Amino acid sequence: MSRAIAAPPLPPRPARPPEIMVRRPSVTIKHVAADAGVSLQTVSRVINKEPNVRPQMAERVQASIDRLGYVPSISAQRMRGSRSYLILALNDRERTLADWRERQGADWVDQMMLGGMSKCAEHGYRLIVELVDTHSDHVERELSAALAALRPDGVILTPPHSENPVILAMLEAAHIRVARIGSLKPGPGFALTMDDERAAGLATDHLIELGHRAIGFIAGPAAYELSQWRIKGWQHAMQAAGLATDSFARGDFGYESGIAAAEALLDGPLMPSAIIASSDRMALATLEVARRRDLRVPEDLSVISFDDTPIVRFTHPPLTAVVQPIAEVSARAVERIIAGDGSDGEADRQPEAIPASLAVRSSTAPPRRA
């Protein structure tokens, strides 16, 4: 039988004029224990989601936590054990800051934080996002400072950090759990992908089913491993249908590179009736090139994008797009880090794929001539 802990009762809210704010005492773990009639240790085990708590007892304690509005103190939790209850997500500083400054609607970081923070909150964790230049000479110093200050229980790496050997070696040496998003190269921790090869095939098959035979593809930069996966997905779908894969160009995910790539495809020997662009910005650039050339979308040219950021739903016409499950992937990364996957630098050799989907909108239609 658990022994109830006597805790000082919360004082009643004093009567006061509505314009005066009076701070109530903080609800502590002792208040929760007293309300639930259990020991401090039981409350602690429930908060830390330890397995040796009966379901009925866990429900009772959780009901008291919800009723009293108790919020666990991360600093107190860190003092009681080896866990920090922090998960660190690393994103590319240069590209992220450029996106924010240009305000062009990219929401990769937003979606990553949505999934990661929501899942962390379910388990009493916090997600911290740090921006690091992956190609900087100072990456070791920057990352070492972040790890020393935060002591995270795990790190989520997004491209291109998930492929960076310096970063991977540092995390492995520190025995920190690692989630590698968008990379299947050997490394510590575990790998998560959005099955980019299948996603590109899905987009290509959609156009083939509409009757398109000349389908151009604008790839992302070669520095990103996922760029090659998308090329393979397009190539395999085209080859399975007996179609040529000559209509190919490469950009850097940015708008200006999309302009150059779309112009190169449309000026090529085999003018495509449809183009798949590996980012929303390059797809928007393709729409602009079509407008300059008096090509109607989708009557003269069908266009498909990757990412499905909010802006593509408000273009004219709205863009058919591969919907990347970024929030779902980051949530799964958090789940597996908390569960202990990828601890002590030992890699889980089986990558996990969270499949993307295709949102069909008004930018794709059968070609005028099959």
The CATH number of the domain holding residue 32 is: 1.10.260.40
Residue 187's SS3 state is coil
- Tens digits of per-residue pLDDT, 58-74? 889 889 888 888 876 65
The CATH number of the domain holding residue 128 is: 3.40.50.2300
pLDDT of residue 133: 83
Residues 184 and 203 in one domain: no
In a domain, 364, yes or no: no
Residues 151 and 200 in one domain: no
d(CA 92, CA 151): 20
Residues 145 and 237 in one domain: no
Burial of 30 (0-12, 13-18, 19+ CB in 10 A): middle
What's the total number of domains in the chain?
A: 3
pLDDT of residue 12: 61
- Tens digits of per-residue pLDDT, 338-355? 998 765 545 556 789 999
Residues in the chain, pLDDT under 50: 1-2, 19-23, 79, 345, 370
Residues 224 and 307 in one domain: yes
pLDDT of residue 21: 45
Residues 251 and 283 in one domain: yes
Torsion angles phi and psi, residue 161, rounded to 5: -60, -30
Residues 182 and 214 in one domain: no
d(CA 232, CA 197): 6
Q: Report the C-alpha dihedral over residues 190, 194, 200, 201, rounded to 10 degrees.
A: 80
Q: Give the domain range for residue 13.
A: 1-72
Residues 184 and 332 in one domain: yes
How many CB atoms are closer than 10 A to CB 66?
9
pLDDT of residue 201: 98
